[in-house]
Amino acid sequence: MSAESMQSFFALAIGFSFAGLLASGYQAATSRPASFQLLQGGPHPAAFAAVPFLVFAAPFIIMRNILRRRPAEGWRFWIVMSATMIAGFWSLMSGTIAISLLTGLGL
């Protein structure tokens, strides 16, 4: 396996891990699961503060919603596959940003 492939795999894993950490921490602090409904309150400071949180927690939220709703709603395979690919790409990008930040901090 090439070095670039390993770096991409680690970025993907770190992205999903960080998303899970943020979403679980939010749920532990507020006793409700994180969701995209944090943005539905209109333009107020809490909605603006939720944007950076949702940028990094989105892969976990997408996968949680897909895995919970698929059996009940009977979604087709391609819908689940598309959502998984979107969450994976999003996780790869947020993991790449997290690795860059950690490298910049010298960790």
Q: Residue 54: count other Cβ atoms within 10 Å of its Cβ.
A: 19
Q: What is the pLDDT at residue 20? A: 94
The Cα–Cα gap between 13 and 33 comes to 21
Q: What is the pLDDT at residue 100? A: 92
Instruction: Please give the chain's pLDDT, 107 residues, in tens.
Output: 888 899 999 999 999 999 999 999 999 999 999 988 888 877 777 778 888 899 999 999 999 988 887 766 677 888 889 999 999 999 999 999 989 998 999 88
Q: Residues 6 or more apart from 35 whose CB is under 8 A from it?
A: 61, 65
**54: nearest Cα among 90, 84, 96:** 90
Enumerate the domain spans of the chain: 3-104
Annotate 46-92 with DSSP letters as a single string.
Answer: HHHHHHHHHHHHHHHHHHHHHHHHHHHHT--HHHHHHHHHHHHHHHH
